[in-house]
Amino acid sequence: MSKLNVDQKTIFELLSDKKADFLIPDYQRPYAWDEDQCQTLWDDLFTFSFPNNDYDAFNQNEEYFLGSIVTFKNDNAQSEVIDGQQRLTTIMLILRAFYDKFACMQDANSKQTRDRIERCIWKTDEFGSADKSTLKIDSEVATDNDKDEFLDLLKTGSVKPGSKSRYVNNYQFYQNKIDAFIKDFSSYSPYFPARILGSCILLPIEAESQDTALRIFSTLNDRGLPLADADIFKAQFYKYYGDIDKKDDFISEWKNLEEITSSVSYLNTGTPMDELFARYMYFLRAKEGNKSTTTEALRKFYERNKYQYLKQPGTISDLKSLALFWKSIANQDSQRFPDSILKKLFILTYAPNGMWQNIVSVYFLHNKSPEGTLKEAEFSFFLDRITAFIYAYAITNSGVNALRTPIYDEMVNIVNGIEVTFAKYKFNENQARSFFNNFKFTNQRNITRSMITWYAYTFPGQKLLDVNEIFHLEHIYSKKRQEIEGSLKNAEAIESLGNKILLEGNINIRASDYRFEDKKKIYSGEQRRGKNQEISKISEIAEFIGYDKFEEEQIVDRNKEILDKFFEFLKNEDLIA
């Protein structure tokens, strides 16, 4: 079991300790508190110290809990801050602001309070005197251009002309608050910082390692953004590029990478940068020849052999290429991909799981040109094959974990220059048709939307749909009509693929409960107003408008047509044994 040192302390006890030496590490995020958060903290501290604006109402036995500070001792015996950096930084700014305001005050309480603050901000010598050149907090945040300003501010209390950093803004905010406080409570001015120092509590939690500290943080933290794996990786990159004297270049590249990933919808399954590193991990695993279906945790994978993969010269450029590739897909970039490719990618957007994104990432990284392009014909063929396989496998071998075995096999084949064939996993047509015929295609199952989206694009007139537009699954023969009339002899036909179609969300809402003759008018725009009068963008709708009826016979016929087309697709992709 991991060892922890946990001991509740006042701010003064924590910061005045001669061994206090805090480091905000390079992988942390920049200081982010704004005026609203500073105001909330000030109000909380003031209300605690002066209940009902009454000095005498303060109870010295009461304490105000400010939260936890999670740290671990690094190799330099510094307390590396994993959680609590924003809080700790802001407390330091408040104390420094009070320290400056008390510089000219000669009463004993003010002088004593100032001396106590001094011992919290600066390290002291063996006689207890402050060394004004050595702070008790340091910051190495790689992407924080203003960290030096924070440290200078603590040392000198002076603000550079024209500075607009968050540190300066918040420091000046507290200076103004202290000015107003001293004006209203002049005789009690030393008591406020004294009560902050002596009665406001922090819970320092010192872990035995960085890994333990991060796990504690993930468990405790319910505010703000948790520290991502990518933040840890950033630190390793920062050290590596520092060693080769390219630290500034790295910071610029990293910021650019964060900007790209934050705008890509295909990287929104978690923290965007973590997701990008996960996609890249599958490429690296494949290059290792690793087909194991047990995937290591992201940080565990990259920290192997002292973060060897992060210290390779091409890693950042690979990550950037991969991020731009997915950005182009998310933006349906017609300059990069022809419509025929974008249509196939749209279909995969509705795949029953996200495994396709991993194998596509591996394919791209292995086959991209130096300019980051792919050969269209080969890429188109690859997309068709993985679509056919993934969609069929989702029904014949349900569960995303089941898909790992064939997909991981093919990832290794890709990096070895072998064509993706799924040769070991081809389908027996009779068995596969039996699975499809007995499968319940409810709207709650992802594969239902997957199949209907694929079918929509089998119509030659189907144009590329906007990936950001909302499309629903429409019951052509209304579920409500079946509930009222019960006219379908086979009630299960209502949920078959033959009774489903992709439809714009705004049209589907209007069409959901109508008879077929009324639905046709809504599909065509005849019963809609303004800009909604246009016919649905789903090409097959044009055929429906010409139908006289859509009853059980039509559902059965259309269901057979969908399945026949799909099995023809499987045969064309050589996936039938």
Amino acid at 47: T
Judge whether 576 lies within some domain: no
Would 398 be classed as within a structural domain? yes
Distance (Å, rounded) from C-alpha 113 to C-alpha 101?
11
Q: So what's the pLDDT on residue 222?
A: 46
Listed in sequence order, the residues at least 6 apart from 39 whose beta carbon sits closer than 8 Å to its beta carbon are 173
Provide the number of structural domains found in the chain.
3
User: What DSSP line would sit under 507-567, residue for residue?
Assistant: HHHHHTTS-HHHHHHHHHTTT--GGGGSPPS-TTHHHHHT-S---HHHHHHHHHHHHHHHH
Same domain, 342 and 459: no
**DSSP 8-state secondary structure symbol assigned to residue 31:** P
Q: Quick one: pLDDT at residue 511?
A: 64
b/e 241-257 (16+ beta carbons within 10 angstroms → b): beeeeebeebbebbeeb
Backbone angles phi, psi at 131, to 5 degrees: -95, 100
Q: How many CB atoms lie within 10 A of CB 124?
A: 16
- Same domain membership, residue 194 and residue 269: no
Structure tokens at 253: 């590249």
| Whether residue 165 is found in the same domain as residue 54 | yes
Same domain, 396 and 537: no
Counting as low any pLDDT under 50, the low residues of the chain are 1, 222-225, 528-532
DSSP lists the bridge partners of residue 22 as: 79, 137
User: Please, are residues 136 and 121 in contact by the beta-carbon 8 Å criterion?
Assistant: yes
Q: Which residue has the tokens 């405790």?
A: 220
Tokens of 59: 């109870």
What number of other Cβ atoms are within 10 A of residue 390's Cβ? 22
Residues 507 and 483: their CA atoms lie apart, in Å, by 22
* Domain shared by 212 and 234, yes or no: no
User: Of 459, 491, 458, nearest to 477 (Cα)?
Assistant: 491
In a domain, 82, yes or no: yes
Phi, psi angles (nearest 5°) of residue 67: 125, -175
Quick one: which H or E segment has residue 131?
strand 130-135
Short-list 429, 336, 412, CA closest to 379: 336
**Count of helix runs (H) and strand runs (E) in the chain:** 24, 11
Say if residue 336 is in the same domain as residue 360: yes
pLDDT the model gives residue 150 = 93
- CA-nearest of 277, 212, 148, 259 to 6 is 212
**216 and 233 share one domain:** no
- Extract the tokens encoding 363: 């394919």
- Strands 9-10 and 200-207, sheet pairing: antiparallel
Residues 357 and 402 both lie in one domain:
yes
Identify the domain boundary among 199, 220, 241: 220
| Residue 191 CB coordination number (10 Å) | 17
Alpha carbon distance 494, 150 (integer Å) = 65
Distance between CA 308 and CA 479 in Å, rounded? 57
> 439 in a domain, yes or no?
no
Task: Spell out the residues 6+ positions from residue 215 whose beta carbon is closer than 8 angstroms to its own.
Answer: none
Query: How far is 199 from 10, CA to CA, in rounded Å?
Result: 6
Look at strands 122-124 and 4-6 and give their pairing: unpaired
Residues 150, 161: Cα–Cα separation, whole Å? 14
Please give the Cα distance from 344 to 336 (Å, whole number).
Answer: 14
Tell me whether residue 66 is in a domain.
yes
Q: Is there a contact between 66 and 223 (Cβ–Cβ < 8 Å)?
A: no
Question: Residue 419 and residue 421: Cα distance in Å, rounded?
Answer: 6
Q: Which residue has the tokens 């044009």?
A: 542
Q: Could you list the beta-strand ranges (E) of 141-212.
A: 200-207
Q: 553 burial class (0-12, 13-18, 19+ CB within 10 angstroms)?
A: exposed
Six-digit token string for 461: 């007139």
- Residue at which a domain ends, from 177, 196, 220: 220
Closest among 147, 84, 157, 87 to 117, alpha carbons compared: 157
If asked whether residues 199 and 250 sit together in one domain, one would say no
Does some domain include residue 245? yes
Alpha-carbon distance of 457 to 344, in angstroms, equals 8
CA pair distance 534, 273, nearest whole angstrom: 40
Model pLDDT, residue 220: 59
Count of CB atoms situated within 10 Å of the CB of 120: 23
Residue entry with tokens 């991991």: 2
Domain that holds residue 320: 229-425
Residue 123 and residue 35 in one domain: yes
Q: What angle do CA 496, 497, 503 make, to 5 degrees?
A: 120
Cα distances (Å, whole numbers) of residue 308 to 131, 302, 315, 355: 40, 7, 10, 26
Last residue of a domain, one of 193, 220, 247: 220
List alpha helices for 397-502, DSSP H: 400-415, 429-438, 446-456, 479-485
Residues 51 and 16 in one domain: yes
- In whole angstroms, give the CA distance from residue 301 to residue 220: 24
Query: 332 near 464, Cβ under 8 Å?
Result: yes
CA dihedral of 226, 230, 236, 241, whole degrees rounded to 10: -130
Residue 565 domain-assigned (yes or no): no
What is the SS3 assignment for 505? helix
Q: Which residues are paired to 23 by β-bridges?
A: 80, 138
Q: For residue 81, which phi and psi values (nearest 5 degrees)?
A: -85, 120
What pLDDT is stored for residue 427 in this prediction? 97
CA–CA dist 106, 306 (Å, integer): 56
Please indicate, yes or no, if residue 261 is contained in any of the structural domains.
yes
- If asked whether residues 403 and 272 sit together in one domain, one would say yes
Q: Given the structure tokens 């922890």, which residue do they identify?
A: 4
